[in-house]
Amino acid sequence: MDWHILAQQLVNGLTLGSIYGLIAIGYTMVYGIIGMINFAHGDVYMVSAYLTAIAIAVLTGFGIDSAPFAIVITLALTMFITGVYGWSIERVAYRPLRGSTRLAPLISAIGISLVLQNYVQLSQGAKPQGVPTLVSGTVRLGTETNFVQMTYIQILIVVVSFAAMAALTWIIRSTSLGRQCRATQQDRKMAAILGIDTDRIISTVFVIGAAMAAIAGVLVTLNYGSFDFFIGFVTGIKAFTAAVLGGIGSLPGAMLGGILLGLFESLFSGFVNTDYKDVFSFALLVLVLIFRPSGLLGRPEVEKV
Amino acid sequence: MKPSSLLEVRGLTMRFGGIVANNDVSFDVADGSITALIGPNGAGKTTVFNCLTGFYRASGGTIHLATAAGAPVEVGSLLDKPFIGGSYLVARAGIARTFQNIRLFREMSVVENLLVAQHQRLDRNVLAGALGTRKFRQTERDGLARAFHWLEVMGLTADANRLAGELPYGRQRRLEIARAMCTGPRLVCLDEPAAGLNPRETHELSELIRTLRSEHRVTVLLIEHDMSLVMGISEHIVVLDHGEVIAAGNPETIRSSPAVIAAYLGAEEAEVEGGEGTR
């Protein structure tokens, strides 16, 4: 076996996996707090890709050509606007249905997903869009013929993703907001009885999920350069798979699940077959659900009194 | 409202479909008192608590809570406020409670259970936290200090960093009371605090409830089946049966009330008075 190919696939897998992990956070946190799968989350990620392109175009229009500066501004703008999307979606489509059957918000989520896709398709056109390359260059290790390379963008993806996950972990573990989120997740009614505005916490969770998806959207767009209104679907389903793999409802689980899924998928396409990588990912999901239904780090559902 | 009252319940009615759990319940809780709500199983005591604490929206009647600011607030109207209404406003108005079946955040540490109850006072700004501003650190320190104060009062200091769900039953009960107190309430509602406690623990509990009132200046409303506890510590007792108030008064009046004795079906007068459980 060629070790440099293995190492290269691991590098690629880590990059892909951190993206899955970032998006999976949105699925897992929302599931943890209100027990619904937010099927519109993938499309929120798609919206953030368009916002990235718009932000970059605007910045270029202003004549800003310093790549680090442009990336920071784009990240901030995209996270903010995508956060507003996340907040509005919860407010419009899920909150009015709270207290109705479990299925109602799920259907509403699918509706929102369709609305977002069609709205973007109408307003931005159906053709794939692109952004100019802001960062180019690679780091190479090895000889002329046997080498492992990592582009600057890949390094950026891994660094920014891990930083975002670390920051979020800190917020959830050690801040007052994080304690309120965990309390609301464990027993929403009890949290309210203690004076926590649980509706506000739920909104915050949607904003956090959307902001994380926005980071992923910016990074992926900078990496691939091209996107269309349908990218949210497959990526969303993959990130959802990652969340289930790690144990849905568990924050470290989503990150771990994302990275593992990225690694497996990348190794599979490197050593077995590229065309069947999605089949492999979903087969993995089926196996996890059969042998460990609560995921790697998830806890089995406990009946609440 | 009478100036001496902290809580005034008038005509409280709670229906679940065709079932009337509470019908026209009226009583007062005097400021600074220990008031007990008793009655046979299924009398609707916990339902009254659920309405008082904003857990349920009462079907009818009013619940007024006196506030330090002046004008009393009506619990139901807090729940109904457009856009921002909810149970959390009741807690912020100053009512805290515990549950018969303990509802701690089992997967959070003991001290976190107490911190989360204080967030009204703690700085909620994440940015301030990330920057570690002085105000943020100060409020966090205050929160911790308050949490450890209550751990000491409850004798739980050694358990501060254990998961709440791991604690033995009696300590979970005390932790739940500590958590309720950490919200800074004016009225604390204890739902069967002595359930499952042994006689020694029950005795400690009655001392604790007295301390809450005398040292921490909180009014206590409790549901309890342990008659020796109820008769020993309460100044005012409200008796419910089949969802209605059948008697109210001081322990002496209640002890000799024929309606109360009749309500405890088959219960002899001696049992109502005595220490043996009517449970």
Is the pTM higher than 0.90?
A: no
Between β-strands B60-67 and B5-16, what pairing exists: parallel, antiparallel or unpaired? antiparallel
Mean pLDDT, rounded, of chain A: 90
**Residue where the block lists tokens 């570690």:** B132
The CA–CA distances, whole Å, from B135 to A96, A178, B132 equal 37, 18, 8
Residue B277 confidence (pLDDT): 43
Name which of B47, B51, B60, B59 is nearest B7 in CA terms.
Answer: B51
Q: What is the pLDDT along chain B (279 residues), one digit of tens a residue?
A: 777 889 999 999 999 988 888 889 999 999 999 999 998 888 889 999 999 998 888 898 999 998 877 788 888 888 888 778 888 888 888 999 999 888 999 889 999 999 998 876 654 566 666 666 777 778 788 888 999 999 998 889 999 899 999 999 888 999 999 999 999 899 999 999 998 888 998 999 999 999 999 988 899 999 998 888 999 999 999 999 888 998 888 888 888 888 888 887 555 555 555 544 444
Residue among A177, A193, A197 whose CB faces B55 most closely: A193
Q: Where are the beta strands (DSSP E) in chain A?
A: 129-130, 138-142, 147-151, 226-227
**Closest residue of chain B to A195, computed from CA coordinates:** B88
**Residue where the block lists tokens 């952004």:** A131
Quote the minimal CA–CA distance from B272 to chain A in Å. Answer: 31
Sign of CA dihedral B3, B4, B6, B10: negative
* Structure confidence by residue, pLDDT tens digits, A76-122: 999 999 999 999 999 999 999 988 888 999 999 999 999 999 999 99
- The residue extents of the domains of chain A are 7-291
Residue among B103, B126, B140 whose CB faces A190 most closely: B103
Which residues from chain B sit within 8 angstroms of residue A182, using beta carbons? 105, 107-108, 112, 116
Residue among B107, B124, B183 whose CB faces A176 most closely: B124
Q: Judge: A195–B129 Cβ closer than 8 Å, yes or no.
A: no
Q: Give residue A97's identity as a one-letter amino acid code.
A: L
Where in chain B are all domains bearing CATH 3.40.50.300?
1-94+186-279, 103-184
Q: How confident is the model at residue A303 (pLDDT cuts 50, 70, 90)?
A: very low
Quote the minimal CA–CA distance from A123 to chain B in Å. Answer: 32
B267: left (phi over 0), alpha (psi -120 to 50) or beta: beta
* Structure confidence by residue, pLDDT tens digits, A137-154: 888 887 777 888 889 999
Whether residue A132 has pLDDT greater than 90: no
Quote the minimal CA–CA distance from B189 to chain A in Å. Answer: 12
Q: Which CATH architecture has domain B103-184?
A: 3-Layer(aba) Sandwich (3.40)
Do residues B221 and B245 lie in contact, with contact meaning Cβ atoms separated by under 8 Å? no
Quote the minimal CA–CA distance from A105 to chain B in Å. Answer: 19
* CATH class for the region spanning B1-94+186-279: alpha beta
Which residues from chain B sit within 8 angstroms of residue A193, using beta carbons? 53-55, 87-88, 90-91, 96-97
Query: Highest-confidence range of A34-38, A47-51, B105-109, by mean pLDDT?
Result: A47-51
Residue A244 confidence (pLDDT): 92
Which residues from chain A sit within 8 angstroms of residue B176, using beta carbons? none
Residue B12: strand pairing partners: B25
For chain A, report the end-to-end CA distance as a whole number of angstroms: 55
- The reply to whether CATH 2.60.120 applies to domain A7-291 is no
**Residue where the block lists tokens 């301390």:** B211
- The interface residues of chain A toward chain B in range 154-193, judged by CB-CB distance below 8 A, are 167, 171, 174-177, 179-180, 182-183, 186-187, 189-193
Q: Judge: B86–A197 Cβ closer than 8 Å, yes or no.
A: yes
ipTM of the complex: 0.84
Residue among A167, A176, A186 whose CB faces B123 most closely: A176
Q: Judge: B183–A195 Cβ closer than 8 Å, yes or no.
A: yes
Which residues from chain B sit within 8 angstroms of residue A175, using beta carbons? 126, 129
Residue B124 confidence (pLDDT): 56
Name which of B228, B223, B236, B221 is nearest B277 in CA terms.
Answer: B228
The CA–CA distances, whole Å, from B134 to A119, B117, B129, B139, B141 equal 46, 22, 9, 9, 10
Which residues from chain A sit within 8 angstroms of residue B107, using beta carbons? 182, 186
Residue A109 confidence (pLDDT): 94
What are the structure tokens assigned to B234, written together? 């309460």
The CA–CA distances, whole Å, from A184 to A90, A248, B130, B152, B158 equal 16, 16, 22, 26, 26
Quote the minimal CA–CA distance from A205 to chain B in Å. Answer: 13
Chain A with chain B: Cβ pairs closer than 8 A: 84
Q: Judge: A196–B116 Cβ closer than 8 Å, yes or no.
A: yes
The reply to whether A297 touches chain B by the CB within 8 Å rule is no
Quote the minimal CA–CA distance from B88 to chain A in Å. Answer: 4
Chosen from A172, A179, A205 to mutate, greatest number of chain B CBs within 10 A:
A179
Residue A76 confidence (pLDDT): 95
Euclidean distance between CA atoms B66 and A59, whole angstroms = 57
Euclidean distance between CA atoms A142 and B75, whole angstroms = 71
- DSSP letters for A167-180: HHHHHHHHSHHHHH
Distance of CA A64 to the CA centre of its chain: 28
Chosen from B53, B56, B87, B141 to mutate, greatest number of chain A CBs within 10 A:
B87
**Chain B residues with CB-CB distance to A under 8 A?**
53-55, 84, 86-88, 90-92, 96-97, 99, 101, 103, 105-108, 112, 115-117, 119-120, 122-124, 126, 129-130, 140, 143, 179, 183
